[in-house]
Amino acid sequence: LTLEKSADPLVVKQRMLIADGLMEEILSKAYNDPGVGHTATGQRQYYDDINDYSGFHMEGIRSIDGTPIPELAEYNVSVSVTPATLPNGTVARLVRIEVKVNRYDDYVLESYRTAYE
């Protein structure tokens, strides 16, 4: 069992890079919906604010335009965006990205985003 869940360095690195890249993409978006550009298509390339990513799920990693990346077909990603309040009282949103692959433990990356725009 220990060998089964042992940390394969390649898998560890890929999960981190997937989560980091997606987090960077999400945090670069507007805090509030700017009211232009996004449609209800569910296509990531049209997401224009962080709330658009809430509930986002990807089976097999794809580029932002939806092109599958065959080498990462076994990886799955889930995103949640929830309201939060920081200890100093600042209103924020908690972005949580979970990356899963086969028999390995989930990799979770979390970050807070405030309305600093």
Pick the closest to residue 112 from 16, 88, 44, 62 (CA basis). Answer: 88
Instruction: Quote the pLDDT of residue 3.
Output: 44
What is the Cα gyration radius of the chain? 16
Instruction: Quote the pLDDT of residue 39.
Output: 54
Q: What does the pLDDT look like over 74-97, one tens digit per residue?
A: 999 999 999 999 999 999 999 999
Instruction: Quote the pLDDT of residue 103.
Output: 80
Instruction: Quote the pLDDT of residue 43.
Output: 83
Q: CA-CA distance, 4 to 111, in Å (whole number)? A: 30
Instruction: Quote the pLDDT of residue 37.
Output: 59
Instruction: Quote the pLDDT of residue 82.
Output: 97
In the chain, the percentage of residues whose pLDDT exceeds 90 is 68
Determine contact, residues 45/58, Cβ cutoff 8 Å: no
Q: Please state, in angstroms and as integers, the Cα–Cα distance from residue 109 to each residue in 25, 42, 74, 115, following that order.
A: 13, 22, 19, 20
